[in-house]
Amino acid sequence: MPPTLNQARPYDNSVAFLTDKDVLDNATNIIPPSLPAAICYGRVKDPESCVPKAWWKDVFGDNLYLQTDGDVVEDPEITFEEIRLLETHEPIRSIFQSVSPSGSTERTRILDLCCGQGRHVLQLAELYPHLELHGHDQSQYLIELAQSRAAVADVSGRASFTIGDCRAIPHDDNSFSLVMVMGNSFGYFATDNANANLLKEIRRILKPGGFVVMDIPDGAYLRKNFSARGWEWIDDTMIVCRERELSKDKRRLISREVVMLTGKGVIRDQFYEECLYDLAEVHQLVRESGLVPEQRVEDVEENTIGRDMSKRGEDLGMMENRHLVLVSKPLL
Ligand SMILES: C[S@@+](CC[C@H](N)C(=O)[O-])C[C@H]1O[C@@H](n2cnc3c(N)ncnc32)[C@H](O)[C@@H]1O
C-alpha cells in the first residue's frame, strides 16, 4: 500500500534542500564577492514597456529567485501542505495512489510542468515511490538543482527532469495521467491565445480521462488588492523593493523588483508581468483548449498556504491568494 499523507513526513530539509548559503556558495552566475554595483534603471515612466518578452529567462535563471521567493518555494513544510491540499481532490488522490496491476511494469506517470527546482516532484517521490515522476522547466539553473537534490535523495530512478520551454513538452501524446502546474506558473504569456496554446500542449500529452491541476493566482482578487509599492527584507543583508501597476489594458499585473545587498548596492533591477485571470476567464481558456473544468466556479478551492505559512510573511505578491483549478481531458 502506498503511504498516506498522515504517515509521511515533510521532505527532509537537511538532506534535500540547500540553504541560501549553500546556494550562494555554489552559485557561479550571480553575486560574486567582487560584484561591482549594478546599474539601476532609476525612475521609469512606463514600466510595462520595460518588460522583456521572455522575462522568465532572467527572473528564474539563477539563485536569486530562490532567495526572494524562498520563504514559500524553499520551505518543505509549505510544499508538503500543498501536496496535502492536492490530496483533498479525489481524482488526484487516486492517481497518486494508483498502483499498476500485478505483472505490469507500466507506472502511473505524472508531469510537473514549470517545476522550478522540483520541490513537488521530490516530495511526491518520497511519498509515493511507485509513481513515475517528471519535471520540466526552462531554467537550466533550477533543473540542475532539482537533479542534484534528486541524486542526494536517491530518487533519480523515479524522478527525472528536462529543460525546455513549456510550449514544446518533450513527451509523447497521451502519456500522462496527471499534469501539475504549481506555484503560480500559468499566465506568463502576454496574450490569452498564447496561454490557451499552452493548455492545448498540456492536452496533447495527457491521456484521455487524465487530469490537470493548476495552482494559479486569484486574478480577480489581485486586480483590486495588489500593493503598488512595497519593500521586503529577505534577510539581514538583502532587501527587495517592488513596484506594481496594472497594464494599460488592465489584464496584466506589471511588477518591478529592485534587489539590493548591503555593502554592494543594487544587484538586480527586473521587470515582469502576468495575466490576471478570474475563474470564469480561466474556465473559458480551458474550454477553448479542448479541456473540461471539473469544478463549478463557486466550488474552486483557495490556496492560501503560502500566505498563511510563510515565516517571513511580508510581501507575497502573486503568491498571496491562489486558486486550485482542476481540469480533465475528455475520454475519446
Ligand atoms: C514561480 S516558479 C514556480 C516553480 C514551481 N512550480 C514551484 O511551485 O515552486 C515558475 C516556474 O516556471 C518556469 N517557467 C516560466 N516560463 C516558462 C516557460 N516558458 N517554459 C518552461 N518553464 C517556464 C520558471 O523557470 C519557473 O521555474
For every residue of 139-196, DSSP letters joined together read -HHHHHHHHHHHHHTT-TTTEEEEES-TTS-SS-TT-EEEEEE-SS-S--SSSHHHHH
pLDDT at res. 309? 75
pLDDT at res. 318? 65
pLDDT at res. 148? 96
The atom of ligand 1 lying closest to the CA of 60 is 25
State the virtual CA torsion across 182, 188, 193, 197 in degrees, nearest 10: -40
pLDDT at res. 311? 72
Place of cell 513544510: 77
Nearest to 191 by CA among 281, 101, 303, 62: 281
Other C-beta atoms closer than 10 Å to the C-beta of 98 total 16
Q: Which of 138, 186, 213, 270 to mutate to test the pocket of ligand 1 (most atoms within 8 A of CB)?
A: 138
pLDDT at res. 4? 41
For the entire predicted model, the pTM comes to: 0.88
Label residue 183 left, alpha or beta by phi (over 0 means left) and psi (-120 to 50 means alpha).
left
pLDDT at res. 16? 38
The atom of ligand 1 lying closest to the CA of 119 is 9
Pocket of ligand 1 (CB under 6 A): 56, 60, 73, 114-116, 119, 137-139, 142, 165-166, 182-185, 188
Q: Which of 137, 188, 197 to mutate to test the pocket of ligand 1 (most atoms within 8 A of CB)?
A: 137
pLDDT at res. 29? 39
Residue stretches of the chain with pLDDT short of 70: 1-38, 101-103, 306, 313-320
pLDDT at res. 300? 81
From ligand 1's centre to the CA of 116, what distance in Å? Answer: 5
Domain ranges of the chain: 55-97+106-218+277-328
pLDDT at res. 319? 65
Complete DSSP assignment for 247-263: -TTSSEEEEEEEEEETT
Q: Which of 11, 60, 189 to mutate to test the pocket of ligand 1 (most atoms within 8 A of CB)?
A: 60
The atom of ligand 1 lying closest to the CA of 184 is 1
Please state which of the four CATH numbers 2.60.40.10, 3.40.50.1000, 3.40.50.150, 3.30.420.40 is assigned to the domain occupying 55-97+106-218+277-328.
Answer: 3.40.50.150
Nearest to 142 by CA among 12, 23, 224: 23
